[in-house]
Amino acid sequence: MSGWAPKRFWKEARVAEVDGGWTVTLDGRKVRTPAKADFVVPTRALAESCAAEWAAQDELVRPDTMPHTRTANSAIDKVRAQHGEVAALVAAYGETDLTCYRAEGPDELVARQAAAWDPLIGWAETALGARLVPVAGVMHQAQASEALARLAEATVALDAFELAAFHDLVALSGSLVIGFAAARGARAPEALWEDSRIDESWQAEQWGEDEEAAATAALKREAFLHAARFISLLQGD
Protein backbone atom coordinates (compact mmCIF):
# COMPACT_ATOMS: atom_id res chain seq x y z
CA MET A 1 0.00 0.00 0.00
CA SER A 2 1.51 3.30 -1.05
CA GLY A 3 2.42 5.61 1.83
CA TRP A 4 1.87 2.92 4.48
CA ALA A 5 3.82 3.36 7.70
CA PRO A 6 3.72 1.20 10.85
CA LYS A 7 2.10 2.69 13.93
CA ARG A 8 3.94 3.33 17.14
CA PHE A 9 3.12 0.52 19.56
CA TRP A 10 5.54 1.16 22.43
CA LYS A 11 5.72 3.57 25.32
CA GLU A 12 9.42 3.51 26.18
CA ALA A 13 12.62 3.11 24.15
CA ARG A 14 15.75 2.21 26.12
CA VAL A 15 19.22 0.78 25.56
CA ALA A 16 20.50 -2.51 26.91
CA GLU A 17 23.91 -4.15 26.92
CA VAL A 18 23.96 -7.49 25.10
CA ASP A 19 26.54 -9.92 23.78
CA GLY A 20 28.60 -8.07 21.19
CA GLY A 21 27.52 -4.56 22.07
CA TRP A 22 24.34 -2.60 22.72
CA THR A 23 20.77 -2.82 21.54
CA VAL A 24 17.55 -0.81 21.71
CA THR A 25 14.48 -2.16 23.49
CA LEU A 26 10.89 -1.04 23.03
CA ASP A 27 8.97 -1.76 26.21
CA GLY A 28 11.59 -4.39 26.96
CA ARG A 29 11.49 -6.09 23.55
CA LYS A 30 14.70 -6.01 21.53
CA VAL A 31 14.62 -4.20 18.21
CA ARG A 32 15.42 -6.18 15.08
CA THR A 33 16.61 -5.02 11.68
CA PRO A 34 14.39 -5.09 8.57
CA ALA A 35 16.01 -8.46 7.72
CA LYS A 36 15.08 -9.72 11.20
CA ALA A 37 18.65 -9.80 12.48
CA ASP A 38 19.50 -8.77 16.03
CA PHE A 39 19.98 -5.01 16.22
CA VAL A 40 23.34 -4.78 17.98
CA VAL A 41 25.66 -1.78 17.67
CA PRO A 42 29.22 -1.39 18.97
CA THR A 43 28.84 1.55 21.38
CA ARG A 44 26.38 2.76 23.97
CA ALA A 45 26.55 6.26 22.46
CA LEU A 46 25.24 4.99 19.13
CA ALA A 47 22.58 2.84 20.79
CA GLU A 48 21.38 5.85 22.78
CA SER A 49 21.14 7.93 19.62
CA CYS A 50 19.11 5.19 17.94
CA ALA A 51 16.88 4.85 21.00
CA ALA A 52 16.27 8.60 20.90
CA GLU A 53 15.14 8.26 17.28
CA TRP A 54 12.64 5.55 18.27
CA ALA A 55 11.45 7.62 21.22
CA ALA A 56 10.91 10.64 18.97
CA GLN A 57 8.48 8.79 16.68
CA ASP A 58 4.94 10.06 16.88
CA GLU A 59 1.82 8.12 15.97
CA LEU A 60 3.45 6.66 12.82
CA VAL A 61 7.00 5.35 12.42
CA ARG A 62 8.92 7.42 9.85
CA PRO A 63 12.26 5.78 8.92
CA ASP A 64 13.34 8.95 7.11
CA THR A 65 13.54 10.63 10.53
CA MET A 66 15.79 7.88 11.93
CA PRO A 67 19.11 8.27 10.09
CA HIS A 68 21.33 6.56 12.64
CA THR A 69 19.00 3.58 12.96
CA ARG A 70 18.84 3.29 9.17
CA THR A 71 22.63 3.33 8.84
CA ALA A 72 23.02 0.74 11.58
CA ASN A 73 20.45 -1.47 9.84
CA SER A 74 22.37 -1.11 6.59
CA ALA A 75 25.62 -2.09 8.32
CA ILE A 76 24.06 -5.20 9.84
CA ASP A 77 21.86 -6.37 6.96
CA LYS A 78 23.89 -5.34 3.92
CA VAL A 79 27.44 -4.11 4.47
CA ARG A 80 28.47 -6.90 6.83
CA ALA A 81 27.56 -9.52 4.21
CA GLN A 82 29.12 -7.63 1.29
CA HIS A 83 32.00 -5.83 2.94
CA GLY A 84 34.53 -6.39 0.17
CA GLU A 85 32.19 -5.30 -2.60
CA VAL A 86 31.08 -2.16 -0.75
CA ALA A 87 34.67 -1.24 0.13
CA ALA A 88 35.74 -1.62 -3.50
CA LEU A 89 32.83 0.52 -4.68
CA VAL A 90 33.71 3.29 -2.25
CA ALA A 91 37.47 3.12 -2.82
CA ALA A 92 36.88 3.59 -6.56
CA TYR A 93 35.99 7.23 -5.86
CA GLY A 94 39.71 7.82 -5.37
CA GLU A 95 40.27 7.33 -9.10
CA THR A 96 38.22 10.46 -9.87
CA ASP A 97 38.33 12.26 -6.55
CA LEU A 98 36.55 15.63 -6.56
CA THR A 99 39.51 17.37 -4.97
CA CYS A 100 41.78 16.44 -7.87
CA TYR A 101 39.72 17.87 -10.75
CA ARG A 102 40.19 21.62 -11.00
CA ALA A 103 38.58 24.27 -13.15
CA GLU A 104 40.72 25.86 -15.85
CA GLY A 105 39.07 29.20 -15.15
CA PRO A 106 38.00 31.75 -14.08
CA ASP A 107 40.86 32.61 -11.78
CA GLU A 108 38.68 33.21 -8.72
CA LEU A 109 37.15 29.74 -8.93
CA VAL A 110 40.57 28.18 -9.50
CA ALA A 111 41.83 29.99 -6.40
CA ARG A 112 38.87 28.87 -4.29
CA GLN A 113 39.37 25.25 -5.24
CA ALA A 114 43.08 25.41 -4.51
CA ALA A 115 42.53 27.07 -1.13
CA ALA A 116 40.09 24.38 -0.02
CA TRP A 117 41.37 21.27 -1.75
CA ASP A 118 45.16 21.59 -1.70
CA PRO A 119 45.27 21.27 2.11
CA LEU A 120 43.01 18.21 1.91
CA ILE A 121 45.26 16.55 -0.65
CA GLY A 122 48.23 17.36 1.60
CA TRP A 123 46.42 15.87 4.57
CA ALA A 124 45.67 12.67 2.62
CA GLU A 125 49.36 12.27 1.81
CA THR A 126 50.36 12.70 5.45
CA ALA A 127 47.53 10.81 7.14
CA LEU A 128 46.82 8.12 4.57
CA GLY A 129 50.11 7.83 2.71
CA ALA A 130 48.29 8.57 -0.56
CA ARG A 131 49.81 11.22 -2.81
CA LEU A 132 47.13 12.41 -5.22
CA VAL A 133 47.89 14.87 -8.01
CA PRO A 134 45.41 17.61 -9.02
CA VAL A 135 44.72 18.12 -12.72
CA ALA A 136 43.07 20.89 -14.71
CA GLY A 137 39.93 20.06 -16.65
CA VAL A 138 37.42 17.25 -16.50
CA MET A 139 39.19 14.61 -18.59
CA HIS A 140 40.15 11.57 -16.55
CA GLN A 141 43.80 11.23 -15.65
CA ALA A 142 44.96 8.18 -13.75
CA GLN A 143 46.43 8.58 -10.28
CA ALA A 144 49.45 6.60 -9.12
CA SER A 145 48.56 3.00 -8.40
CA GLU A 146 50.39 3.16 -5.07
CA ALA A 147 48.22 6.06 -3.90
CA LEU A 148 45.03 4.28 -4.94
CA ALA A 149 46.19 1.11 -3.19
CA ARG A 150 46.75 3.02 0.06
CA LEU A 151 43.25 4.52 -0.14
CA ALA A 152 41.78 1.10 -0.85
CA GLU A 153 43.61 -0.42 2.12
CA ALA A 154 42.29 2.28 4.43
CA THR A 155 38.76 1.73 3.13
CA VAL A 156 38.87 -2.06 3.50
CA ALA A 157 40.13 -1.63 7.07
CA LEU A 158 36.84 0.00 8.11
CA ASP A 159 34.40 -2.26 9.93
CA ALA A 160 30.82 -2.70 8.69
CA PHE A 161 29.41 0.15 10.77
CA GLU A 162 32.17 2.56 9.81
CA LEU A 163 31.91 1.58 6.16
CA ALA A 164 28.14 2.06 6.04
CA ALA A 165 28.47 5.68 7.17
CA PHE A 166 31.68 6.25 5.22
CA HIS A 167 29.89 5.21 2.03
CA ASP A 168 27.46 8.09 2.57
CA LEU A 169 30.22 10.59 3.31
CA VAL A 170 32.01 9.70 0.07
CA ALA A 171 28.99 9.31 -2.20
CA LEU A 172 27.43 12.57 -1.05
CA SER A 173 30.63 14.61 -1.35
CA GLY A 174 32.06 12.86 -4.41
CA SER A 175 35.40 12.58 -2.64
CA LEU A 176 37.20 9.80 -0.87
CA VAL A 177 39.58 12.38 0.59
CA ILE A 178 36.75 14.46 2.05
CA GLY A 179 35.13 11.29 3.39
CA PHE A 180 38.29 10.28 5.23
CA ALA A 181 38.82 13.82 6.51
CA ALA A 182 35.32 13.80 7.98
CA ALA A 183 35.65 10.29 9.42
CA ARG A 184 38.96 11.09 11.07
CA GLY A 185 38.02 14.55 12.32
CA ALA A 186 40.53 16.45 10.21
CA ARG A 187 38.05 19.30 9.78
CA ALA A 188 34.55 20.07 10.98
CA PRO A 189 31.96 18.17 8.91
CA GLU A 190 30.13 21.41 8.12
CA ALA A 191 33.30 22.92 6.63
CA LEU A 192 34.06 19.77 4.66
CA TRP A 193 30.57 19.79 3.18
CA GLU A 194 31.14 23.34 2.00
CA ASP A 195 34.46 22.23 0.52
CA SER A 196 32.57 19.66 -1.55
CA ARG A 197 30.17 22.32 -2.85
CA ILE A 198 32.61 24.90 -4.19
CA ASP A 199 31.59 24.44 -7.82
CA GLU A 200 27.87 24.55 -7.03
CA SER A 201 28.27 27.60 -4.80
CA TRP A 202 30.19 29.36 -7.55
CA GLN A 203 27.48 28.65 -10.11
CA ALA A 204 24.79 29.92 -7.72
CA GLU A 205 26.73 33.15 -7.23
CA GLN A 206 27.00 33.70 -10.96
CA TRP A 207 23.51 32.69 -12.10
CA GLY A 208 21.36 32.72 -9.00
CA GLU A 209 20.21 29.86 -6.80
CA ASP A 210 17.75 27.30 -8.12
CA GLU A 211 15.21 26.55 -5.39
CA GLU A 212 14.84 22.88 -6.25
CA ALA A 213 18.59 22.35 -6.42
CA ALA A 214 19.02 24.18 -3.12
CA ALA A 215 16.41 21.98 -1.43
CA THR A 216 18.14 18.84 -2.71
CA ALA A 217 21.51 20.15 -1.53
CA ALA A 218 20.08 20.83 1.93
CA LEU A 219 18.89 17.23 2.22
CA LYS A 220 22.30 15.95 1.11
CA ARG A 221 24.05 18.23 3.61
CA GLU A 222 21.89 16.87 6.43
CA ALA A 223 22.65 13.30 5.38
CA PHE A 224 26.38 14.06 5.23
CA LEU A 225 26.35 15.53 8.73
CA HIS A 226 24.37 12.56 10.06
CA ALA A 227 26.95 10.17 8.57
CA ALA A 228 29.78 12.09 10.21
CA ARG A 229 27.93 12.06 13.51
CA PHE A 230 27.32 8.30 13.18
CA ILE A 231 31.06 7.70 12.95
CA SER A 232 31.72 9.92 15.96
CA LEU A 233 29.18 7.86 17.94
CA LEU A 234 31.12 4.72 17.01
CA GLN A 235 34.04 6.35 18.79
CA GLY A 236 31.84 6.98 21.82
CA ASP A 237 31.53 10.74 21.36
Go through the domains of the chain in sequence order and give each one's CATH number. 13-81 (3.30.2180.10), 83-234 (1.10.3580.10)
Model pTM? 0.94
Q: Is the pLDDT of residue 90 over 80?
A: yes
Q: How confident is the model at residue 118 (pLDDT cuts 50, 70, 90)?
A: very high
pLDDT tens column, 186-235: 999 999 999 999 999 999 999 888 899 999 999 999 999 999 999 999 99
Q: CA torsion 22→183→87→230, rounded to 10°?
A: 30
138 against 164, higher pLDDT? 164
| pLDDT at site 6 | 77
How confident is the model over 47-66, as a mean pLDDT? 93
pLDDT at 8: 83
**Burial tier of 2 (Cβ tally within 10 Å: 0-12, 13-18, 19+):** exposed
Distance, CA of 78 to CA of 90 (rounded, Å): 14
How high does pLDDT run on average in the chain?
Answer: 95
C-alpha angle 108-110-114 in degrees, rounded to nearest 5: 115
Residues 69-76, mean pLDDT to the nearest whole number: 98
pLDDT at 237: 57
| 56 phi and psi angles, rounded to 5 deg | -80, -10
The pLDDT of residue 53 is above 70: yes
At 29, which amino acid appears?
R
Distance of CA 221 to the CA centre of its chain: 10
Per-residue pLDDT at 106:
96
* pLDDT grade for 174, boundaries at 50, 70 and 90: very high
Dist. CA 77–CA 54, nearest whole Å: 19
Query: Mean pLDDT, to the nearest integer, of 78-82?
Result: 98
